[in-house]
Amino acid sequence: MRTGKQRHKMDQASIGQFSFLSDEQVRRIQQEFGTPTYVYDQRTLEAQGRRALEFPNAYGLTVRYAMKALSNAAVLRIVDRMGIHIDASSGFEAARALRAGVPPGHIQITAQELPADLATLLDQGVLFTACSRRQLRAYGELRPGSEACIRVNPGLGSGHSNRTNTGGPSASYGIWHGHLDEALELAQAYKLSITRIHTHIGSGGDPKVWERCARLSLEIAAQFPDVHTLNLGGGFKVGRMPGEETADVQAIGRAIKADFEAFARNHGRKLHLEIEPGTYLAANAGALVCTVIDVVDTGPKGYNFIKIDSGMNEVLRPSIYGAQHPIAVVPATPEQRGQKDYIVAGRCCESGDILTPEPGNPEALAPRTLAEARIGDALVVGGAGAYCAAMATKNYNSFPEAPEILLANDGTCHLIRQRQTLDQILQNERPISS
């Protein structure tokens, strides 16, 4: 075994350290539903939702779930029942939320692409955020004389990598703060009243960063006398791995609340606050149950590999970010085993299909200390509720989409998306005759 490489050494005799599932539940899911299968825990999802709803605020709060994190209708209905609204990143997401039964007035589209059916969605009562000057012009043509929301890039962002940073000069999201005069001119041309401002800095958990960005956003809101709502976006850091910190939303909220109160004193406006958590609600409410299909090695100076019947098809984040997910081997029958250092490899014919990269570096490997693996064992990937099913490399190597099940509060499991079939993969293809 190579030395000098970073390793994550954790006692992996049981997954209880990081997951809502017991070893026995994992085995039952493996037998009843097959693998790979996503499992979502209603209890965890609702607990995180309640924490978000308790975000400190000065003059009212709307929590919008960033549904791009996990878009299953069952999940949308759970958050909707809690009084959490929806942040949609495309017209398709908005339509999907409508089909799940979310009231149109609780859905707000904030998208890079202007929805082709925007007029229809607006007619239904869906809210819209203009994310560029072009989008603001298009909205003005559809709804002259109405209220409007614009997304502004305040010039500052935060994230664990540039790929998760949605603010600052390296991000294309929103109207650059230096172009607001042109946005005002467009608003005047179409007699729009800009009543809502949206900003989003990326991912992080430092209250001081949030406070700096909130102050920048409040300075922008001060330029628009009709603004009554300020949306600070989401990106609240969630610790998936043991030892990783999760954002203290109470501390962040308290830091921001004082600035909203100061704004009210200085400008005579009590702004309503909106936030848009996605990962914060869903990440640790999900796990992926897989099966060990092979165990191989590359000699005494190489690595031990666990091959599983899943991989980047279901969990892409490690391959593109070097993102870290907790992993555990669950023996097929209850027993005590020794431990080994392993690289966990996916089933795709792709050298980057690795679930154990070096943190933040998808080009390097970081072996994990896991229970000794045997073919047929279960392997569980934790922290798989956000940006896994929703962001997977679906159908690469023609593997079908994995099913999703919900672990309800009463302990029962419910199939909320069936496993895809080959016929479903092929159904939209139209072969031509030779």
Q: Please give the average per-residue pLDDT across 57-83, as a whole number.
A: 98
pLDDT tens digits for 227-239? Answer: 999 999 998 999 9
In a domain, 432, yes or no: no
In a domain, 318, yes or no: yes
Share of the chain above pLDDT 70, in %: 92
Q: Are residues 240 and 386 in the same domain?
A: no
How close are the terminal C-alpha atoms of the chain, in Å? 53
Domain end position, chosen among 281, 314, 339:
281
Q: Are residues 290 and 265 in the same domain?
A: no
In a domain, 431, yes or no: no
In a domain, 3, yes or no: no
Residues 6+ apart with CB under 8 A from 167: 153, 154, 155, 156, 157, 158, 173, 174, 199, 200, 201, 202, 213
Distance between CA atoms of residues 182 and 136, nearest Å: 10
Main-chain dihedrals φ then ψ at residue 377, nearest 5 degrees: -65, 160
Question: In CATH, what number is assigned to the domain containing residue 382?
Answer: 2.40.37.10
Domain end position, chosen among 244, 263, 281:
281
**Least confident piece of the model among 244-248, 268-272, 398-402:** 244-248
Q: Are residues 144 and 277 in the same domain?
A: yes
Residue 428 Cα distances to 69, 399, 401, 432, angstroms:
26, 16, 15, 13
Q: Are residues 287 and 146 in the same domain?
A: no
Q: Please give the average per-residue pLDDT across 179-190, as a whole number.
A: 94
Q: Please give the average per-residue pLDDT across 397-407, as a whole number.
A: 98
Q: Are residues 19 and 65 in the same domain?
A: no
pLDDT tens digits for 73-116? Answer: 999 999 999 999 999 999 999 999 999 999 999 999 999 999 99
User: What is the pLDDT, as a whole number, of residue 5?
Assistant: 44
| 3-state secondary structure at position 285 | helix
Residue 413: which domain range?
A: 8-40+283-426
Q: Are residues 313 and 243 in the same domain?
A: no
User: What is the pLDDT, as a whole number, of residue 213?
Assistant: 84
Q: Are residues 237 and 342 in the same domain?
A: no
In a domain, 308, yes or no: yes
Q: Are residues 73 and 20 in the same domain?
A: no
pLDDT tens digits for 263-281? Answer: 999 999 999 999 999 999 9
Q: Are residues 317 and 409 in the same domain?
A: yes
Nearest to 373 by CA among 288, 292, 311, 297: 292
Q: Please give the average per-residue pLDDT across 220-227, as a whole number.
A: 95
Q: Are residues 103 and 150 in the same domain?
A: yes
Q: Are residues 203 and 132 in the same domain?
A: yes
What average pLDDT does the structure give for the chain? 92
Distance between CA atoms of residues 428 and 64, nearest Å: 34
User: What is the pLDDT, as a whole number, of residue 8?
Assistant: 45
In a domain, 419, yes or no: yes
User: What is the pLDDT, as a whole number, of residue 16?
Assistant: 66
In a domain, 422, yes or no: yes
pLDDT tens digits for 23-54? Answer: 999 999 999 999 999 999 999 999 999 999 99
User: What is the pLDDT, as a whole number, of residue 258?
Assistant: 94
Main-chain dihedrals φ then ψ at residue 322, nearest 5 degrees: 70, 25
Q: Please give the average per-residue pLDDT across 160-173, as a whole number.
A: 52
> How many domains are contained in the chain?
2
Handedness of CA 25, 26, 32, 33 (dihedral sign): positive
User: What is the pLDDT, as a whole number, of residue 243?
Assistant: 85
- Single-letter residue type at 239: G
In a domain, 1, yes or no: no
Distance between CA atoms of residues 151 and 146, nearest Å: 17
Q: Are residues 265 and 125 in the same domain?
A: yes
User: Is 213 one of the annotated active-site residues of the chain?
Assistant: no
pLDDT tens digits for 327-363? Answer: 999 999 999 999 999 999 999 999 999 999 999 999 9
Distance between CA atoms of residues 306 and 331, nearest Å: 13
Q: Which of 290, 349, 388, 413 is catalytic?
A: 349
Domain end position, chosen among 252, 281, 310:
281
Question: In CATH, what number is assigned to the domain containing residue 257?
Answer: 3.20.20.10
Handedness of CA 208, 249, 264, 157 (dihedral sign): positive
Q: Is the pLDDT of residue 118 over 60?
A: yes
User: What is the pLDDT, as a whole number, of residue 174?
Assistant: 86
Share of the chain above pLDDT 90, in %: 83
Distance between CA atoms of residues 261 and 271, nearest Å: 9
